[in-house]
Amino acid sequence: MSQTIDEPTEDAIPSETPEVLEPALDPIAEMQAEIEKWKDHALRNAAELDNFRKRSARDMQESRAYANADLLRTLIPILDNFEMGLEAARAESEQSMIYMGLSMVRRQFADFLREMGAEEIPAEGQPFDPNVHEAVSHEASDEIAEGTVIRVLRRGFKLKERLLRAATVIVSSGAPQS
């Protein structure tokens, strides 16, 4: 069936149904809702800003507390080598001027570490703790209980609560098996 020019198509017929308008809201209620929305937004932003300030202050305080960690990690191996030299001087003579001078420097070094907040990790005679001790071997021992540190090969240090270097230790495996 063909259409003639005079017949309007369905698309061209104007809609006779009036547009359905949403009922107008009360302008005062509309404004109150808008006010509440912005109050909530302002309170959330204020809380976020407060949390950001607290987090920044905490991060800054932590950065200051542990700022020297890298320096101390670098100095500890130097201290180890220095103490080996001190032991060699002691073996030669505890009365020598070299030994006495090295002992004074060793004391200053220990004071410096203490002032920076570094402290030695107790190890010898302590129960083995894998969080602060690094076991390199086990030795049988009649006198020392199993799981206890027999000897310290390399001292460990921590800065406040952070580990700078674990103590390298030898741990007792208990009484020898016959």
The answer to whether the pTM exceeds 0.95 is no
- Of the candidates 49, 46, 69, the residue with the CA atom closest to the CA atom of residue 57: 49
Residue 169 has pLDDT above 80, yes or no: yes
Q: If you ran DSSP here, which 8-state letter would residue 69 be given?
A: H
* Domain-embedded: residue 86: no
* Domain-embedded: residue 122: yes
Model pLDDT for residues 124-138, shown as the tens digit of each residue: 999 999 999 999 999
Report, as an integer, the average pLDDT of 99-105: 91
CATH number where 168 lies = 2.30.22.10
Token code pair at residue 102:
């090295």
* Domain-embedded: residue 126: yes
Q: In which element (H, E) is residue 101 found?
A: helix 97-115
- Please state, in angstroms and rounded to a whole number, the distance separating the CA atoms of residues 69 and 76: 11
Q: In which element (H, E) is residue 42 found?
A: helix 27-65
* Domain-embedded: residue 159: yes
SS3 of residue 177 by DSSP: coil
Quote the distance between the C-alpha of residue 73 and its chain's center: 16
Residue 131 C-beta-side C-alpha neighbours within 13 Å: 7
- Of the candidates 107, 117, 101, 116, the residue with the CA atom closest to the CA atom of residue 79: 107
Domain membership of residue 123 as a residue range: 118-178
Percent of the chain with pLDDT over 90: 55
**Exposed, middle or buried: residue 172 (CB in 10 Å: 0-12, 13-18, 19+)?**
buried
- Please state, in angstroms and rounded to a whole number, the distance separating the CA atoms of residues 29 and 148: 75
Report, as an integer, the average pLDDT of 109-137: 93
Number of domains within the chain = 1
* Domain-embedded: residue 68: no
Residue 17 has pLDDT above 80, yes or no: no
**Residue pair 138/104 in contact by the 8 Å Cβ criterion:** no
* Domain-embedded: residue 144: yes
* Domain-embedded: residue 82: no
Model pLDDT for residues 41-91, shown as the tens digit of each residue: 999 999 999 999 999 999 898 888 788 888 899 999 999 999 998 998 888
